[in-house]
């Protein structure tokens, strides 16, 4: 019995370990090793890893490009607000992001504001399919879901930099 309890404890510890952001650069591209998927814990706001993965797949499909890498960041991952320290609860959004040079270029061509190669929030509205997934997930999960579009460089400039400053975490399944 003791061994069984220890095993359960070990499993619980494994899944409660904060997500480790494992992003490797290879020839200027973001490469996410399969190991990241194994280490990535279930973000808050989802009932199962399957539900989370399905949300990522839907965003990827709606992106319409072949270089999209989908991830989630913020309090859904860390369990607390990066700036206020408040725990993940009502009023906390699900902050998805898509890394794609092609999508970012489309947004810029549409006249969207781009700051440090990250598109301003309004830009997302110019992508009806992506926005529809935002609305669908918001309704299904009972929590506001949004997505930002960043280029490869924007991901490194903004999201990675923010991670270093605020210790916020992100998951790319």
Query: Minimal distance in Å, beta carbon 38 to other proteins?
Result: 25
- Residue 171 gets which letter from DSSP? E
Site string for other proteins, 77-116 (x = CB under 8 A): ----xxxx-x---xxxx-xxx---------------x-xx
Chain center to CA of 61: 15
Residue (1 or 172) nearer to other proteins, CB: 172
Residue (24 or 139) nearer to other proteins, CB: 139
The Cα angle at residue 149 between residues 17 and 128, in degrees rounded to 5 = 120
Q: Does the footprint of other proteins cover residue 19 (CB under 8 A)?
A: no
Instruction: Give the separation between CA 108 and CA 116, rounded to whole angstroms.
Output: 12
The interface region with other proteins, picked from 3-11, 28-36, 69-77, 101-109 by CB under 8 A, is: 69-77
Question: Considering only residues 73, 98, 127, 172, which one is a binding residue for other proteins as defined by CB under 8 A?
Answer: 73
Cα dihedral angle (29, 30, 32, 33), rounded to 10 degrees? 40
Counting beta carbons within 10 angstroms of the beta carbon of residue 91, is it exposed (0 to 12), middle (13 to 18) or buried (19 or more)? exposed
Q: Which residues would be at the binding site for other proteins (CB under 8 A)?
A: 73-75, 81-84, 86, 90-93, 95-97, 113, 115-116, 118, 120-122, 125, 135, 138-139, 141-144, 146-148, 158, 162, 168
């Amino acid at each position: 019995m003791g061994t069984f309890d220890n095993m359960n404890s070990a499993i619980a510890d494994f899944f409660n370990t904060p997500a480790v952001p494992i992003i490797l650069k290879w020839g200027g591209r973001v490469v996410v090793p399969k190991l990241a998927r194994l280490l990535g814990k279930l973000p808050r706001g989802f009932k199962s890893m399957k539900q989370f993965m399905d949300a990522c797949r839907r965003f990827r499909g709606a992106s319409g490009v072949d270089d999209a890498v989908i991830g989630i960041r913020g309090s859904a991952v860390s369990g607390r607000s990066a700036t206020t320290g408040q725990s993940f609860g009502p009023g906390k959004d699900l902050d998805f992001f898509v890394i794609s040079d092609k999508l970012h270029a489309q947004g810029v061509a549409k006249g969207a504001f781009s700051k440090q190669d990250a598109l301003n929030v309004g830009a997302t509205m110019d992508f009806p399919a992506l926005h529809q997934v935002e609305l669908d997930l918001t309704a299904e999960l009972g929590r506001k879901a949004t997505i930002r579009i960043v280029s490869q460089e924007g991901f490194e400039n903004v999201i990675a930099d923010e991670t270093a400053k605020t210790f916020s975490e992100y998951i790319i399944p």
